[in-house]
Amino acid sequence: MLSSVLVTRSPCLSQSPASVDPSSRALSRRAEESPPVPGRSGGESASTHDGVPRRQLLCGADLFRPGHLTSAYPRPVADALPNDFRPAARVTPEQAPLPREASVVIVGGGVMGVSIAFHLAEAGVGDVLLLERAALGSGSTCKAAGGIRAQFSDPLNVQLGARSLQAFERFRERPGQDIDLRQVGYLFLLDMEEDVAAFESAVSMQNDLGVDSRMVGPDEVRRLCPLVRTEDLLAAAWSPRDGHCTPESVVLGYAGAARRLGAGLRTGVEVLDVETAGGAVAGVVTSHGTVRTPTVVCAAGAWSAQIGAMAGVPLPVTPYRRQILFTEPIADLPPGLPMTIDFATTFYFHGEGRGLLMGMSDPDEPASFRVDTDDAWLPRLTDAMERRAPGLLDVGVTGGWAGLYEVTPDHIALIGSSTTVPGFVYATGFSGHGFLQAPAVGEVVRDLVLGDPPVLDIAPLSVGRFASLEAGSADHARPEVNLV
C-alpha cells in the first residue's frame, strides 16, 4: 500500500498564503497576477507535484499517512480533517469602515455572491457591496466537486446549466480567469428500467433545448470509462460538453473582476439583521456597523433561512453534510475520464490530478451544519464501488473533506424577488448544483435587481411555489430527477 498525502485543511481561498490578508486589494491583485491554475485532472498538465490534486496542494498537504478503502477509511484522516469553518481563526476583519450606504448589499461571498456582484458591476451598477462573514468561497463553494452540466430533468435546470456552460467556456475572456475547464462529459450509469425511461425522456427534452446529450449502451460506456463494471448495466446518459472546473478559480475570477469594476467585496463582516421601513428593505445591520440600502440579495447558501428570517421572508433551505474523498495517483489512469455517476447509488467520481475525486450521498445523514468528516458513509460507498468500479477498491485515499448541500423541498433553486418585502431578492437552495448554475444565476439576479426581464424566465423558481405545497397542492413543485 502506498503512502498517501493527508489533507489537513479545507479547500478555500483563505488557505492560500496570499489570502491571509483578506483585503480587497489582496484578492484582486491575486486575480490579476496569479498565473493560470494548473490542471485539476487528467492529461499532461494535471499536476506539477507528482499527481497530487491541485486542490489538495492549495490546502497545504503536510502529513503523510496511509489510506486504503478496503481496509478502512484511515481514522487519522477523519480525525485530522477539521471542522474547518473557523472564520475567527483564519480571517482578520477588515479595519476600514463599511460604507454607510450601498445601492445593493449581497449577503454571502460564495460563487453565487461573487457572480452576482460581477454581473451587477459589469452592468454599471455603482456602490455594490458584498458582505461575507468568513473568506470568499469558504462556505459550500470551495467544497464542491466542480461538476458542471446541462443534463437535468427540469427544463429550467437544463437552461441554467447550458447557459452557464457557455459562460464557463468563455471564462478566460470574461471575467478573465483560467478555471482549468475539463469538458470530459457527464455519464449517468443506469441499471433500472424506470431510470432508463426517465433519462430517455429527459435527454429528448434536453435535445429540444439544444443540449447535445444522448443515450448510450454498455459497450460505449466501457469505451468512455474503462473503470466501470458494465455486466448489469442497461444504458447510460451521456453529454460530452459537460465536465468540471475549479471552484476556487471561478470565485477568484468573478471576485477580482467585480472589484476591478468597482464593487466592494468585504470579508470578515457578518450580517446580523435586515432592517425594513414601511415593509420594504431599508438596510443591513452587520458586525461592523449598519449599511443603508434599498436592495438586499440573499446569496447565503446553506445559511439562507437565517437571512430570510431576518427580513421576514421564509426560505425553506435545509443544510445537509456531504463528504468527498481524493485518491492517490492511479497508474495508467485512462485520460479524459468523464464525471461518472452510478445513478442508483449516487456514487460518482472524476479525474483529479493523477487520481480521482469521489463522493456519494448518504440517505442517513440528518439535517445539520456539521462539516466534520467521519467514516459512517464508507461502507455504503465501498459497496457501491464494489458493484460498479471494483478496481478502485484497492486505491489509497489521500484525504477528503465535508461541506454542505443547501436543500429545498424539491431540490430546485429558489430565485426571485420577494412579493411581500420589496427589495429582498434571493438566489439560494441550489440543492447541490449551485456551482454549475452560478454564471446564469448571476445574470438573472442582475436583471431582477435592475427590474429588467430576466435572461431566463425564472418565475417558477420563486419561493411562492411552496406556499401551494403547504396548502396541499404539489402543482408548483418541480422535482428534479437527475440528482447526485
Query: If you write DSSP's letter for every residue of 459-481 in order, what string do you get?
Result: GGGSTTHHHHHHTT--TT----S
Quick one: which segment of 1-9, 59-67, 195-203, 294-302 binds ligand FAD (CB under 6 A)?
294-302
Q: Does 143 help bind ligand FAD (rule: CB under 6 A)?
A: yes
For residue 438, the SS3 value is helix
Q: Which of 403, 439, 442, 454 binds ligand FAD (CB under 6 A)?
A: 403
Cβ 321 to ligand FAD shortest distance, Å:
8
Give whichever of 229 and 442 is closer to ligand FAD, judged by the CB atom: 442
Closer CB to ligand FAD, 135 or 224, in the complex: 135
Query: Which of 74, 146, 400, 454 touches ligand FAD by CB under 6 A?
Result: 146
The owner of cell 426517465 is 198
| 199 neighbors 215 (Cβ within 8 angstroms) | yes
Please report how close the Cβ of residue 121 comes to ligand FAD at its closest, in angstroms.
17
CA terminus-to-terminus distance, the chain = 30
Residues 6+ apart with CB under 8 A from 89: none
- Exactly one of 404, 412, 456, 458 binds ligand FAD (CB under 6 A); that residue is 404
Distances (CA, A) of 483 to 132, 148, 326: 28, 13, 21
Candidates 34-42, 108-116, 206-214, 475-483; binding stretch for ligand FAD (CB under 6 A): 108-116
- Binding-site string for ligand FAD from residue 40 to residue 79, where x marks contact by CB under 6 A and - marks none: ----------------------------------------
Residue from the set 51, 113, 353, 416 that interacts with ligand FAD by CB under 6 A: 113
For residue 161, give every residue at least 6 positions away whose Cβ sits within 8 Å of its Cβ, in sequence order, or none.
Answer: 148, 149, 150, 151, 152, 433, 436, 437, 440
Which phi-psi region, left, alpha or beta, contains residue 401 (left: φ > 0; alpha: ψ -120 to 50)?
Answer: beta
User: Which residue has cell 452557464?
Assistant: 164
> Applying CB under 6 A, which part among 88-96, 173-181, 427-435, 442-450 lies near ligand FAD?
427-435
Question: In the window 147-206, what residues touch ligand FAD (CB under 6 A)?
Answer: 147
Rounded distance between C-alpha atoms, residue 229 and residue 236, angstroms: 13
Grid cell at residue 245: 472546473
In angstroms, what is the minimal distance from the CB of 247 to ligand FAD? 7
Q: Does 415 bind ligand FAD (CB under 6 A)?
A: no
Task: Please state, as a whole number, how many other Cβ atoms lie within 10 Å of the Cβ of residue 232.
Answer: 12
The span from the CA of 232 to the CA of 150, in Å, is 26
112, 129, 190, 397: which one contacts ligand FAD (CB under 6 A)? 112
Closer by beta carbon to ligand FAD, 39 or else 243 = 243
**Is residue 301 part of the contact set for ligand FAD (CB under 6 A)?**
yes
**21-29, 58-66, 134-142, 450-458 -> range binding ligand FAD (CB under 6 A):** 134-142
Grid coordinates standing for 65?
499517512
**With respect to ligand FAD, which residue has the nearer C-beta, 117 or 235?**
117
Question: Which residue's CB is nearer to ligand FAD, number 141 or number 345?
Answer: 141
Do residues 181 and 460 touch, judged by C-beta distance below 8 A? no
- Please report which helix (H) or strand (E) contains residue 216, including its range: strand 214-216
C-alpha cell at 335: 485520460
CA distance 157 to 162: 8
**Binding pattern for the stretch 314-353 against ligand FAD, x by CB under 6 A and - elsewhere:** --------x-x-----------------------------
Q: How many residues bind ligand FAD (CB under 6 A)?
A: 41
Nearer to ligand FAD, 138 or 206 (CB): 138
Going by the DSSP 8-state scheme, the letter that residue 319 receives in this structure is: E
Using the rule CB under 6 A, which residue among 11, 42, 185, 432 binds ligand FAD? 432
Contact between 91 and ligand FAD per CB under 6 A:
no
Which residue do the cell numbers 448554475 mark?
A: 437
Using only C-alpha atoms, the chain has a radius of gyration, in whole angstroms, of 21
- Report in angstroms how near the CB of residue 128 gets to ligand FAD at its nearest: 15
Segment contacting ligand FAD (CB under 6 A): 120-128, 142-150, 178-186, 392-400?
Answer: 142-150
Give 359's contacts (C-beta < 8 A, 6+ positions apart): 145, 322, 323, 324, 325, 347, 348, 349
Q: What is the DSSP string of 61-103?
A: EEEEEE-BTTTB--HHHHHHS-----HHHH-----SPPPSB-S
User: Applying CB under 6 A, does 264 fall inside the site for ligand FAD?
Assistant: no
Q: How many CB atoms lie within 10 A of CB 188?
A: 26
Residue 133 binds ligand FAD (CB under 6 A)? yes
CA distances from 115 to 18, 32, 263, 442 (A): 22, 17, 11, 5
Q: Is 324 or 385 the residue whose CB approaches ligand FAD more closely? A: 324
Taking CB under 6 A as the binding criterion, the range among 49-57, 200-208, 382-390, 403-411 that sits at the site for ligand FAD is 403-411
Q: Assess 384 for contact with ligand FAD (CB under 6 A).
A: no
> Which stretches of the chain bind ligand FAD, using CB under 6 A?
107-113, 131-134, 138-141, 143-147, 270-271, 299-303, 322, 324, 359, 403-406, 428, 430, 432-436
